[in-house]
Structure 1
Amino acid sequence: MSHPAPETNHPTPDIRLVVLDMAGTTVADGGLVEQAFAAAARRLGADPAAMLDYVRATMGESKISVFRHLFGDEATAQQANQAFEEAYAGLVDGGRVSALPGARETIEKLTAQGRTVVLTTGFARPTQDAILTALGWRDLVPLTLCPADAGGRGRPYPDMVLTAFLRTGAADDVRQIAVVGDTSYDMLSGVRAGAGVVAGVLTGAHGADALRASGATHVLDSVAELPGALG
C-alpha cells in the first residue's frame, strides 16, 4: 500500500527531469555498504562496531564526507574511502547487486513519457560504473552522476541535482525536477535544489517518518510506483 503525499493546494508540477538515487532506490545491494565499511575500518585499525550507527544514520551522504567525520583528518579519510571503494567494488564484481523490482521498467516508462532520467550516487565514479556494468545499465540513461561530477559535494547538498538540471537542459525550471531516493539525505538534496517533487521510497535505509521530516512530498513503497505518482 502506498503512502500518499501530504495535502497541497498546488497541482503536481510538470515533471521533465527525474533524478534517481541508486543503492536502496533502484539497486539492491544486500547490505554491501555496511560490509564494505567494516572492511575499510578494519584495514585502518578501527573498530567498525563503534562507527556503524553513524554509517547507518548517514546513508545517502557522500562516502568521503562520512569518513571525514569519523576519522577527522583528510589523509586518513581518503585512505578509508579508497579502502571502502575497493571493498565495495569487489563485492559488486562478485555478483552481489541486482536491480530492485520494477526499477528498470520504471526508468524505461519515464523515458517513454518524454522525461529525462539521471542516476546519482554517493559512491565514487569507479564504483558507480561497476554497478552500472553489473546491471547492464551503462546505456539505460543519458547521464549518471557521482559527487565528483558535481564539484565534489554529494548529498545532502543540492549539487548533483542542479548539475543534472544544467547538463541535461531537460527542464526550464527547478520545479520541473523530481528527486527520488531512500534516505533523508536524498530528500534534503531535493528540497535544497527546489525540486517540485521530492519522493522517498521505502526499499532502503530510512522509514516514512524520517523521509517526511526531511521534506518528502511523496512516500512510495517502491520506485515502481513513481510513474503513477507523477501522473
Structure 2
Amino acid sequence: MSKVNEASKVNKPNMPNGTGKPADSTKGAIDAIKLVVLDMAGTTVADGGLVERAFSAAVRRMGAEPESMLGHVRATMGESKISVFRHLFGDEAKAQQANTAFEAAYGELVAAGHIAPVAGARDAIEELRAAGRTVVLTTGFARVTQDAILDALGWRDLVELTLCPADAGGRGRPYPDMVLAAFLRTGVADGVREIAVAGDTSYDMLSGVRSGARIVAGVLTGAHDRDALEANGATHVLTSVAGLPAALAAAEAE
C-alpha cells in the first residue's frame, strides 16, 4: 500500500508572462483528476438491503416499529447514520443507543457473509490507481463497521485512505467534510478541481458539489435513481463504478 503525504502542499500560482496575475484555472481543459473519493455501500460495496435490515433490527431493539421510519431512512441514504437516528428519535441518548444497535446489527450481517463488492469495483479501483490517481473510500457508517466491511472484503490495503464521518469532524454527508478531509490528508491534489467524487445517493452528489469537486458521478447500483442523482448535481451518471475509470479518462480528454 502506497504511503500518502500528510503534509499540506503549497504551490506557486501560474503567473502568465507580463500580467502579474494568476491564471484563471476555471478556463480551458479539465485538470487531471488526481484524487478520487468513492462511497462504499451501494457504490463499491453491494448493499443488498443490508442497511434496511440492520435499521429494522436496531429499531425493534429500541421497542419501536421500523415501518413508519423506513421512508426517511431511504431518502437519507448516504447520510451519517447517527444523524439519521437523531432526526428520528429527537433525543441524543436514544439516538446513540439506536446507532450502537444499528452498527451491531450491520456488523452481524457482515460477519455472516452477507457482503460483497459491486461487480467490477475492485478492478475499477485498481485501474484508477494504476492511472496515478489516489483513491479514498468513505462511508456514513462508524469506523468499527467500515473496518469490518474492509476486512470482510480483503480491502484493507486496496486504497490509500479510508474515512468515516468521525474522521472529518462528525457531520458526514451531505456536508463536504469527508471529501475535503481526503483532499487535505492525502495532499495529492493542488485544488478541488482535481477531485472526482462517486456515489449512489443524492447526499453523495450534494457532498461532491459542495466540496467543489470537478467530477461528481452518480452510479445506479444503490439507493437512488438517475433523476435523484441529477437533481442533486451529478455531472455524470454511470451504470456502475466499473465505468468510472473510462469516464474520467474521457473527461480529461475533452
Counterpart of 2:32 in structure 1 is 14
Matching of residue 69 in structure 1 with residue 87 in structure 2: yes
Counterpart of 1:48 in structure 2 is 66
Paired residue secondary structure (1:37):
helix
Matching of residue 176 in structure 1 with residue 194 in structure 2: yes
* Residue 76 of structure 2, aligned match among 50, 58, 69: 58
The CA deviation at 1:30 is 1.2
Q: Contact 2:59–2:98 (CA<8 Å) still a contact in 1?
A: yes
For 2:97 and 2:28, the matched residues in 1 are separated by 47
Q: Contact 1:12–1:230 (CA<8 Å) still a contact in 2?
A: no
Paired residue secondary structure (1:195):
coil
Q: Contact 2:47–2:222 (CA<8 Å) still a contact in 1?
A: no
* Residues 10/198 of structure 1: CA separation in 2 closer, same or farther (3 Å cut): farther
The CA deviation at 1:10 is 6.4
Q: Where does the alignment leave 5 or more consecutive residues of structure 1 unmatched?
A: 1-8
For residues 1-231 of structure 1, the aligned pairs below 5 Å read: 11-231=29-249
Q: Deviations over 1:69-102 (max 9, x none)?
A: 0000100000000000000000000000001111
Q: Where does the alignment leave 5 or more consecutive residues of structure 2 unmatched?
A: 1-26, 250-254
For 1:209 and 1:175, the matched residues in 2 are separated by 24
Q: Contact 2:199–2:218 (CA<8 Å) still a contact in 1?
A: yes
> Across the two proteins, how many residue pairs are aligned to each other?
223
The CA deviation at 1:40 is 0.6
For 1:145 and 1:50, the matched residues in 2 are separated by 31
Give the structure with the larger helix fraction. 1
- Stretches of 4+ moved more than 3 A in 1? 9-13
Paired residue secondary structure (2:69):
helix
* TM-score (norm: length of structure 1): 0.95
* TM-score (norm: length of structure 2): 0.87
For 1:121 and 1:51, the matched residues in 2 are separated by 21
Paired residue secondary structure (1:50):
coil
Q: Contact 1:119–1:141 (CA<8 Å) still a contact in 2?
A: yes
- Larger-Rg structure: 2
Paired residue secondary structure (1:79):
helix
Paired residue secondary structure (1:81):
helix
For 1:10 and 1:198, the matched residues in 2 are separated by 19
Q: Deviations over 1:11-48 (max 9, x none)?
A: 44311000000000000121110000001100111110
Paired residue secondary structure (1:48):
coil
Bigger Cα displacement from structure 2, 199-208 vs 12-21 = 12-21
Aligned AA (2:114)? R
Aligned AA (2:94)? T
Q: Contact 1:13–1:197 (CA<8 Å) still a contact in 2?
A: no
Q: Deviations over 1:32-71 (max 9, x none)?
A: 1000000110011111001001100100000000000000
Identity of matched residues, % = 76
Q: Contact 1:21–1:186 (CA<8 Å) still a contact in 2?
A: yes
For 2:120 and 2:45, the matched residues in 1 are separated by 10
